[in-house]
Chains A and B, each alone.
Chain A
Amino acid sequence: MDLYSEIILDYFKHPRNKEKLAEATHEAVEHNPLCGDIIKIYLHLGPDNKVDKATFEGQGCAISQAATSMLTEQLSGKTLEEIQNIKNEEIYDMLGVPISPGRVKCALIGLVCAKKATDQQIKK
């Protein structure tokens, strides 16, 4: 079927940036109560106020895991405001497969979590 493209399966089986980021400046957790999925996103803001490292942890379906992993690769170089302005369509384009209404939450959980993280600075 179309949903499980080689790229998505590759990101699911070999996720990029899936690790805890000890030096994170921002972080957030997002649940999907429907399926029990959980995603945690870590951002590190560089001196130029742009994200220079983004990682994630968590568990979930192939779509949520691949989308979040791909997203973390896109976050570097962006300001917090630019992250807040990422549109849902950009995630669908990035995934490149048809996302049915039932899977929208899976596709977007990483983005929702990343936007939440921009608001949640870690107090050190």
Chain B
Amino acid sequence: MFDSKQIKTAFPILKRQINGKSLVYLDNASTTQKPQSVIDAISNYYQDHNANIHRGIHTLSEEATDAYEQTRTHVARFINAESPDEVVFTRNTTEAINLIAYTFGETEIFPGDEIIVSQIEHHSNLVPWQYLRQKKQAQLKVILLKEDLTLDLVKYRELLSPKTKLVCITGMSNVLGTIPDLKIIIEEAHKVGAKVLVDGAQSAAHLPTDVQELNCDFFTLSAHKMLGPTGIGVLYGKKELLNKLPPFNYGGSMIKTVDQFESEFADTPAKFEAGTPNIADTVAFKKALEFLEEIGLKNIFEHDTQLLDYAIERFKKYPEVKLFNPRAINSQIKAGGVLSFTVEGSHPHDIASIFNAEGVAIRSGHHCVEPLMKHLNIPATARMSFYLYNTEEDVERAEKALKEVIKIFK
């Protein structure tokens, strides 16, 4: 394994004091902190290499283009895409999903067609499909959650039909940590001719990703949830699918030739990257990928799981506390290091305020998954989410804050 205490030293922000206490950062499902190498890469780019890409002959433009394209090649390797041409840069996961909703939705979804989502989808993998449902008079069907907080794949099979055009599924729930069995979901969808989009915003940061082994049609991720900068996301798509789709935005960089009244569009991925992109952050994203690869995604997941289990063990001792993660119900289930919880008699906002007073950063609210909250019949939860720089001491600090919550609201 690896020494998370040692890793912590690479992240300058984790040296901060919050309310007179050393920061414990447990809001990694929202966004992760950045190592010094990523921070340096951003300023280094602006100091030494800044130029617009794909158009200049001068040295700086060639350097900037090369650095930008190196990240694309690196992402392709990171998710095991067949080719860098299958990697499209976007602003974030949400924009990547919208790209598919607008382009695939425009050309492949017709009245009466069906789109399947699950009950644990983030709003970013639900609201675009609601839009499409309305615009194209399509049907939206939902894979339900079971008592053990995993998805009901028996019922899922019953939802599939020749009308199913697209299945949109998370790789890991940002509220429950649930990890759907993507292999089965994708295999079954393909049997009826449907395509599958995987929302990898959480899973790409915490589990190894192999899009060829999964055989998913589209995969999306956000750099900021995996040690990279904000403002950079990725859409992976199988090349033959991306080639068939119309462009998303129109303008510069996405064309081959332009006449006064019509244009010929560039090949993928340029076809989907109109305008000057977020070059500096894309360049810096490569450093984040290198950081993750050096430690290894398998090791990161194992570390997350250890902390999750430790937190479950520490928190379940308190009768006021209710935990929401499949492993809190059945320790045999594989789940992500995300632990939602409630404390009887106190609102999650108050829990987060008291944790913050103890220097512990957690999230409270509906976590952009309102339908799931309604299903669980709670307005909100407090949530701890772990990453490679978190330690057992961090969990102990969280437990200390929990005791304070119970004391105040008893």
Contacts and interface: CB of A to CB of B under 8 A. Distances in A.
- A-B complex is real: yes
Interface stretch (B7-15, B215-223, B224-232, B348-356): B348-356
Interface stretch (B144-152, B192-200, B273-281, B362-370): B362-370
Contacts of B404: 1
A59 interface: yes
B333 interface: no
30 contacts: A1-B354, A3-B353, A4-B350, A9-B408, A34-B365, A35-B347, A35-B348, A35-B365, A35-B366, A35-B379, A35-B380, A36-B365, A36-B366, A36-B370, A36-B373, A36-B379, A36-B380, A37-B379, A60-B347, A60-B349, A61-B347, A61-B349, A62-B346, A62-B347, A62-B350, A62-B409, A100-B353, A102-B353, A103-B349, A106-B349
Interface residues on A, range: 10 to 19
10 residue pairs, one from A and one from B, having the closest CB atoms: A61-B347, A36-B379, A61-B349, A1-B357, A62-B350, A61-B350, A36-B380, A35-B365, A4-B408, A35-B349
A106 B409 CA distance: 18
Contacts of A4: 350, 354, 408
Contacts of A103: 349, 353
Contacts of A9: 408-409
A4 B364 CA distance: 17
Nearest to B345: A13
Contacts of A1: 353-354, 357, 404
Interface string A31-64: 0001111000000000000000000000111110
Contacts of A3: 353, 357
A35 B364 contact: yes
Interface residues of B, number: 18
A16 B365 CA distance: 26
Contacts of B373: 36
Interface of B: 346-350, 353-354, 357, 364-366, 370, 373, 379-380, 404, 408-409
Nearest to B374: A36
A100 B354 CA distance: 13
A63 B373 CA distance: 21
A54 to B, nearest CB: 23
Nearest to B404: A1
Contacts of A63: 349-350
Interface string A89-123: 00000000000101100100000000000000000
A80 B233 CA distance: 50
A106 B365 CA distance: 13
Contacts of B380: 35-36
Contacts of A59: 379
Contacts of B348: 35, 61
Interface string A54-88: 00000111110000000000000000000000000
B175 to A, nearest CB: 13
A5 B316 CA distance: 28
A4 to B, nearest CB: 5
Given A60-B347, A61-B349, 9 more contacts: A1-B354, A4-B350, A9-B409, A36-B370, A60-B349, A61-B350, A62-B346, A63-B350, A106-B349
A96 B366 CA distance: 28
Contacts of B354: 1, 4
A9 B347 CA distance: 12
A9 B350 CA distance: 11
Contacts of A35: 347-349, 364-366, 379-380
Nearest to B370: A36
A36 B380 CA distance: 7
Nearest to B366: A36
Contacts of A61: 347-350
Contacts of B408: 4, 9
B261 to A, nearest CB: 45
Nearest to A34: B365
Contacts of B349: 35, 60-61, 63, 103, 106
